[in-house]
Amino acid sequence: MAFRPDAMERALSLSARALETPGTEPFGAVVVQDGRIVGEGLNHAQAHCDPTSHGEIEAIRAACKSLDTLDLSDCEIYTTCEPCAMCVAAIALTRIPVMYYAASLEDCRQAVAGRTLTGRPKVEIAVLRREAASTIEERSIEAHQKNAGDALRILEAWAARSDET
């Protein structure tokens, strides 16, 4: 899959919308299949009060819906910033094999250094990466397992039903 400058330009164009659209942030992305854009997204986390509404996630959601599949292994993603751990997970879950990005996470960190971003809790990318890569016992988020048997019975029943179809 060769780099498509037009796809990156579209992602950058989406990103630039944040300069004039309240509740958005300048993180745009597009998903491309066979040279055509099948999904695009802009970070709407503040506007939607949805911390998962990153540009990459929105582009992946749109592509999956457009193509009626969860498998994007024949696609590539173009994004204006190196994706965070959540977006990397979504890219991996949908099996997108190629990613092109503009600014690195370090570039982004430096661009906003010393500024107060309204409406957004401060999240350190290094902490996010560490948390995402840790086992549940190693994470700083307190976690307690409850009702495992009930959940497993439902999972097993669902899996058995799936085997029958």
User: Is the Cβ–Cβ distance between 50 and 66 less than 8 Å?
Assistant: no
CB 5: neighbour CB atoms within 10 A?
9
Catalytic annotation present for 56: yes
CB proximity list for 138: less than 8 A, separation 6 or greater: none
Q: What is the CA radius of gyration of the chain?
A: 18
Neighbours of 128 (CB within 10 A): 14
Q: At what angle do helices 55-67 and 85-93 cross, to 10 degrees?
A: 20
The number of beta carbons lying within 10 Å of the beta carbon of residue 13 is 14
Q: Which one from 25, 40, 56, 76 is the annotated catalytic residue?
A: 56
- C-alpha–C-alpha distance, residues 154 and 106, integer Å: 43
What is the set of active-site residues?
56
